[in-house]
Structure 1
């Protein structure tokens, strides 16, 4: 199912059978194997927090995973391109200052994207695996959130990651691309300028945002 350039797509992060994040983005390019999406600084997204306002960091994981959480709006402070793969175990992100200057890559380790469309509402579902790779413009890199990842793996009955080796292998795949200096770490898209005809992204969650999570083929 190809997306069209300029189309609004809602990225949804899934934690077991529940949503952890919903964010609107615009399609820059549907490459077939991956979709390149753009979100400008100042866009509103939604985390899904505890009814009393606690986020994941402040909530024991068993309580977090068993609770019905509620959408909590937040503002994205930087521009971002995100290359959402339909096949690979990671998304690659380009971060831009609010003024539009590229300043960092980010390897978001996650399950391959599942795309969906319900009439005029379109989206991508994935499972964020917490462990990430931060890459500077000089291609130096570091792991991010490894302590959280290791701690949560000790609670498999509550965690949405069940294959540590797969996640670490995905991270090493990203690092190999970084160290080789090949796409997407070869400078492509670092000078990206969004289409000036694109309007702002919606401020509210659209009807249908809570559609059933798309089952993953096994």
Structure 2
């Protein structure tokens, strides 16, 4: 299954059969380089929150009480998101208006396709890389706290996730692809409209994505 340029799809995080994060995005390209998506500032975003307003950053999923979906929008930035086939991360180019503001690297399970978009599982650990390629690590405390939890990753998987992050950080520091200026001048097709969430945005397919396995894949 492939997606066509200009098609609106969803990008979702899941924990087993629970959809925990939903973004609406436009397909820029779907080819051997990977799946490239555009999420404009203001695009629909759905967050999973419990009755106390806590997210998965605040507590593991089995501790969220009375969780439901909060509809909001992607704010402050637009993002060009590259998902290399089989990779255990995605690379985001962040734009403030037309100004390139840096990269964001999300460590996650290799994405799986379905009829309305893609699903992956977030691995908590992230990298922020400014336009001068200075690397900052994010959410390390959450990553460590979730290690060993049955819904998340074990110690061996955690080591693999961290090694992937270190490898990508080294690429950024060296100015290697995709941190070599590629896509930093990206502009969306002016004919594109704001993507919308399709029917079934919160329905999980029968086979959930792997929680943390197959972590070492990727083209970078």
Q: TM-score, normalised by structure 2?
A: 0.86
Hey, what does 2:31 align to over in structure 1? 31
Hey, what does 1:106 align to over in structure 2? 104
Aligned counterpart in structure 1 of residue 202 of structure 2, from 193, 210, 216? 210
Aligned counterpart in structure 2 of residue 152 of structure 1, from 119, 122, 146? 146
User: Is the 2:90–2:107 Cα contact (8 Å) retained in structure 1?
Assistant: yes
Q: After TM superposition, give the deviation of residue 51 of structure 1 in Å.
A: 4.2
Deviates more, 1:38-47 or 1:51-60: 51-60
What does 1:3-152 align with in structure 2 at a 5 Å threshold? 3-32=3-32, 34-51=34-51, 53-59=53-59, 62-64=62-64, 69-77=67-75, 78-97=77-96, 99-117=97-115, 122-152=116-146
Q: 1:41 to 1:153 in 2, by over 3 A?
A: same
- Aligned partners of 2:58, 2:162: CA distance in 1, in Å? 25
State the SS of the aligned residue for 2:194: coil
Hey, what does 2:217 align to over in structure 1? none
Q: Calculate the aligned-residue CA RMSD, in Å.
A: 2.0
User: Is the 2:8–2:24 Cα contact (8 Å) retained in structure 1?
Assistant: yes
Q: 1:53 to 1:85 in 2, by over 3 A?
A: same
Q: TM-score, normalised by structure 1?
A: 0.87
Q: After TM superposition, give the deviation of residue 100 of structure 1 in Å.
A: 1.7
State the SS of the aligned residue for 1:212: coil
User: Is the 1:16–1:160 Cα contact (8 Å) retained in structure 2?
Assistant: no
Higher relative contact order (CA closer than 8 Å, sequence separation 6+): 2
State the SS of the aligned residue for 1:56: coil
State the SS of the aligned residue for 2:201: coil
User: Is the 1:106–1:133 Cα contact (8 Å) retained in structure 2?
Assistant: yes
Aligned length: 207
